[in-house]
Amino acid sequence: MVTQDIKQKFGIIGNNQLLERAIDIARQVAATDLNVVINGESGTGKEVFPQIIHQNSARKHGPYIAVNCGAIPEGTIDSELFGHEKGAFTGATEARKGYFEVANGGTIFLDEVGELPLATQARLLRVLEAGEYIRVGSSKVQKTDVRVVAATNINFYQALEKEKFRADLYYRLNTVPIYLPPLRERKEDIHILFRKFANDFAAKYRMPVIKLSGDAEQVLVNYFWPGNIRQLKNIAEQISIIEKTREVNADTLLKYLPQYNSSNVPSLLRNESAGHSNNFESADREIIFKVLRDYRNELNDIKKVVYDLVSATSGNVQGLAGDVQVMKRNFAGAAEPLSNTGLTIHTPVIQATGNASQVIEVEETLSLQDKEIDMIKKALRKHKGKRKVAAKELGISERTLYRKINEYAIEE
């Protein structure tokens, strides 16, 4: 079955390249028995792709079961998936088959698989690796032959880092990944989808079809669509029912489009934004690296000056050494050693022996805290106390600068 036939059979609308790539991968992997993970934001239509895979596989005559893992309470998820024996827990008045037993020989779709508890993930891993499971309250190992297709809208890598998802299960599930693009990455399909929904609702409610003016089309295409296709369909239905005028302009359309913010932006983007603004550790590293880079450059300049002076001078060695010490004092200031940083610098010093001179390097520790304070004070003085501008020059956020000022009790 070619891509266009799959679109028609499963009601998929759009010509976006990422969408067609996802359909093509689903069609190719269907003939195998590999596990598949479908990644995409909520509302992108992930539930259609397991059906495409099942209907184009050798298991198409077997059972197909879709399970929303996020909708099942943690206390009953094992019973739902693997079944239980009579008396296994309060209320278990009779034995019950689980989804993996019922779907034997077919396909099981685990939607929101990232919501599974860790204990259930371990049980699922055993099913994937050995085709074995144990009912709740039983000690008898049972066999099943089920193909697993999973879907999630979480960032798997973040979940792995936070140990909310087992790495071994992820690699077992994610044999073939399929990515579904959000609606904002399918701008060329937005108006086509809206027109399709408008026609469907006009027929359903027996009223004329709504149409969008040119400026309304621009608003529609440029909107962020945090709820993706599901949100677009909902908006089309609202307008079809409520608006008396069948031609909708931009002002009317905007009334139905909520202004998205941090509370309704997709989880992946929200986490990245929150991490950028609240990650103090990252901000600390920024200022530390900047301080180290600046001092490294200054040290290199000093070394070059000393080398040039030594090369060009055969006279007053003691006076030269004194000049170098002055440069060193001007550079280092009155810093106290910071033992727990492990940071050292090598400052060139001239040692005089009779008529000969020798350039040696003296190891000297630096107090990173004092250097931070010094850099912050210099930036504040330079910009006359304007913290926003000072923070920008320091290469840190304004929030971090405020915290540093309070932490070090810096007087402006």
Which pTM was predicted? 0.62
Predicted local distance difference test score (pLDDT) of residue 315: 46
Considering only CA atoms, which of 106, 104, 99 is closest in space to residue 78?
Answer: 99
Cβ-Cβ contacts under 8 Å for 306 (sequence gap 6 or more): 324, 348, 350, 359
Q: How far apart are CA 332 and CA 243, in angstroms?
A: 72
**What are the sequence ranges of the domains in the chain?**
3-179, 183-277, 280-408
Predicted local distance difference test score (pLDDT) of residue 386: 85
Q: Per-residue pLDDT tens, the chain, 412 aa: give them.
A: 788 999 999 999 999 999 999 999 999 999 999 999 999 999 999 999 999 999 999 999 999 999 999 999 988 999 999 999 999 888 888 999 999 999 999 999 999 999 999 999 999 999 999 999 999 999 999 999 999 999 998 888 888 989 999 999 999 999 999 999 999 999 999 999 999 999 999 999 999 999 999 999 999 999 999 999 999 999 999 999 999 999 999 999 999 998 754 344 444 344 444 444 444 444 455 556 656 666 666 666 676 666 666 666 544 444 445 554 544 444 444 444 433 444 444 545 445 444 444 544 444 445 667 778 888 888 888 888 888 888 888 888 877 887 788 777 887 6
Tokens 């049980």 belong to residue: 123
> With contact defined as beta carbons under 8 Å apart, do 14 and 143 qualify?
no
Q: Is 305 exposed, middle or buried (0-12, 13-18, 19+ CB in 10 A)?
A: middle
Torsion of CA 311, 314, 317, 320, to 10 degrees: -50
Predicted local distance difference test score (pLDDT) of residue 288: 63
Instruction: Identify each DSSP E strand in 284-402 by its residue range.
Output: 344-353, 356-365
Q: How far apart are CA 340 and CA 207, in angstroms?
A: 75
> With contact defined as beta carbons under 8 Å apart, do 44 and 180 qualify?
yes
Supply 41's token pair.
């934001």
Tokens 């099943």 belong to residue: 144
Which class is 3-179 in CATH? alpha beta
Q: How far apart are CA 184 and CA 18, in angstroms?
A: 12
Considering only CA atoms, which of 175, 186, 232 is closest in space to residue 43?
Answer: 232
Q: How far apart are CA 224 and CA 400, in angstroms?
A: 30
Q: 183-277: which CATH topology?
A: Helicase, Ruva Protein; domain 3 (1.10.8)
